[in-house]
Amino acid sequence: MDFTFSDDQNSIRELAYQIFTDRASDEFLLAFSRTGQTYDDTLWQTLAEQGLLGVAIPEAMGGTGFGLTELCIVLEEQGRRVAPVPLFASLVLGGLPLAEFGSESQQQRYLPALAAGTAKFSAAIAELGMNAAIATAVTAQRTQDGWLLSGHKAAVPDGAVANHILVPAVDAAGQQTIFIVATDAPGVSVRPVEIGLSGQRAAHLDLDNLAIGDDAVLGVAGQGAEILEWLEQRANIGHCALQVGVTEEAMKRTATFLGERKQFGVALGTFQALAMRMADCYIDVEGIRSTYWLALWRLTEGLDARAEVRVAKWWACDAAHRVVSSSQHLHGGIGADVEYPIHRFFLLAKLISYSLGNASQQLAHLGRLLADDDSLGFRALEV
């Protein structure tokens, strides 16, 4: 593994850092939170104009032709500023599978609009990695002219603003197929629902005999399970990228606060108990980063990364809880003030931790993987 970033990757990080820092300042985010809006359209358009929405989209489709690593770099910087834009849903849940499995006509239709910021995407996969009790289903019935879709999908990430949603559906033979569903099509009902942890505008999706053609099938009919497994791994890695930015910035802000805040005339950061707690936060952040980098590297190299992704997401759930909880606690009473910046990091970290499977659920998936394939355990020991 070579953890050295290329000149292009460093340039992408610097550009993303500059855009998010200039726009999503603490002062702006406080004023923005009072408007009742969820997403910053101005920031979204800036990201489009600077080519960051198309970072993982082929150049022929209006993007810059990079890949998952570069997209994760952008997500890290978004997490560092808790910037209110639906990057994860559009670029990871929508853009990546369209670029990988979409037909040429589908890519020409959707990807330039995504790169230009004129269309937003998501995928109805909220139950992946979660308890089966919350699973929802859509059925697909073959017709002479195409398909009829009916059913319900809950809590689609950023679904309230998505123009298109990738929807898995099961046919009469029990096979899964992924469909590209326009949210304004007849037979589609999108019910916005605010996720209380962060204010994210998710949506419940209802389909009532939605007539859809074969040109809306992503990949080929019956390929849904393969696409979902592929997407789940990359969605979890996208969450890890966000979590690195969130936790590292929360840690740095807390360290600065402890160095400036005094008690009995002495900086809080000089207290041994607090210094040790910050050291634990540093170890946790580096744990999230190193496991995420390993999983990301294996994915980009085309290697089996199932176990590594589960380990990385477990760290991103379990360790993040300790980091952001310590950050709030060490800020004292002001840490719980919803108009003080540190609370935003806590809320986003918790939302990530409970999306696509929490820490315990990630461990359960990892245990099943290791039980089914001994080589995964030996590989982990070798690393």
CATH of the domain at 232: 1.20.140.10
Q: Do residues 137 and 261 both lie within one domain?
A: no
pTM over 0.75? The answer is: yes
Q: Do residues 196 and 326 both lie within one domain?
A: no
Q: Do residues 178 and 29 both lie within one domain?
A: no
Specify if 215 maps to a domain: yes
Q: 181 pairs with which residues across the strands?
A: 165
Q: Which residues of the chain fall short of a pLDDT of 70?
A: 1-2, 133-134, 195-199, 375, 377-383
Q: Is 134 left (phi over 0), alpha (psi -120 to 50) or beta?
A: alpha
Specify if 54 maps to a domain: yes
Domain at 189, CATH number:
2.40.110.10
Q: Do residues 206 and 237 both lie within one domain?
A: no
pLDDT tens digits for range 321-344: 999 999 999 999 999 898 899 999
- In whole angstroms, what is the distance from residue 103 CA to residue 99 CA? 9
Q: Do residues 214 and 145 both lie within one domain?
A: yes
Q: Do residues 34 and 63 both lie within one domain?
A: yes
Q: Do residues 16 and 84 both lie within one domain?
A: yes
Q: What is the domain count for the chain?
A: 3
Specify if 124 maps to a domain: no
3-state secondary structure the chain: CCCCCCHHHHHHHHHHHHHHHHHCCHHHHHHHHCCCCCCCHHHHHHHHHCCCCCCCCCHHHCCCCCCHHHHHHHHHHHHHHCCCCCHHHHHHHHHHHHHHHCCHHHHHHHHHHHHHCCCCEEECCCCCCCCHHHCCCEEEEECCCCEEEEEEEEEECCCCCCCEEEEEEECCCCCEEEEEEECCCCCEEEEEEEECCCCEEEEEEEEEEEEECHHHEECCCCCHHHHHHHHHHHHHHHHHHHHHHHHHHHHHHHHHHHHHCEECCEEHHHCHHHHHHHHHHHHHHHHHHHHHHHHHHHHHCCCCCHHHHHHHHHHHHHHHHHHHHHHHHHCHHHHHCCCCCHHHHHHHHHHHHCCCCCHHHHHHHHHHHHHHCHHHHHHHHHC
* Owning domain of residue 161: 132-222
Q: 11-40: b or e for each residue (b if 16 or more CB lie within 10 Å)?
A: ebbebbbebbeebbeeebbeebeeeeebbb
For residue 262, what pLDDT is reported?
Answer: 83
Q: Do residues 254 and 342 both lie within one domain?
A: yes
- In whole angstroms, what is the distance from residue 377 CA to residue 383 CA? 10
Q: Do residues 218 and 345 both lie within one domain?
A: no
Give the HSE-up count for residue 165: Cα atoms under 13 Å, Cβ half-sphere.
30
Domain at 114, CATH number:
1.10.540.10
Task: Among 92, 119, 146, identify where a domain stops.
Answer: 119
For residue 130, what pLDDT is reported?
Answer: 82
For residue 378, what pLDDT is reported?
Answer: 53
Task: Among 191, 222, 253, identify where a domain stops.
Answer: 222
For residue 377, what pLDDT is reported?
Answer: 60
Specify if 73 maps to a domain: yes
For residue 216, what pLDDT is reported?
Answer: 98
Q: Do residues 353 and 289 both lie within one domain?
A: yes
Specify if 126 maps to a domain: no
For residue 382, what pLDDT is reported?
Answer: 53
Which of 118, 7, 112 lies closest to 70 in space, CA to CA? 7
Q: Do residues 80 and 215 both lie within one domain?
A: no
Which of 318, 267, 319, 313 lies closest to 292 in space, CA to CA? 313
Specify if 192 maps to a domain: yes
Specify if 294 maps to a domain: yes
Specify if 217 maps to a domain: yes
- In whole angstroms, what is the distance from residue 106 CA to residue 227 CA? 16
Q: What are phi and psi of 40, to 5 degrees?
A: -95, 100
For residue 263, what pLDDT is reported?
Answer: 83
For residue 198, what pLDDT is reported?
Answer: 55
- In whole angstroms, what is the distance from residue 54 CA to residue 56 CA? 6
- Strand pairing of 147-156 and 200-212? antiparallel
Q: Do residues 206 and 112 both lie within one domain?
A: no
Percent with pLDDT over 90 in the chain: 83
Task: Among 190, 206, 222, identify where a domain stops.
Answer: 222
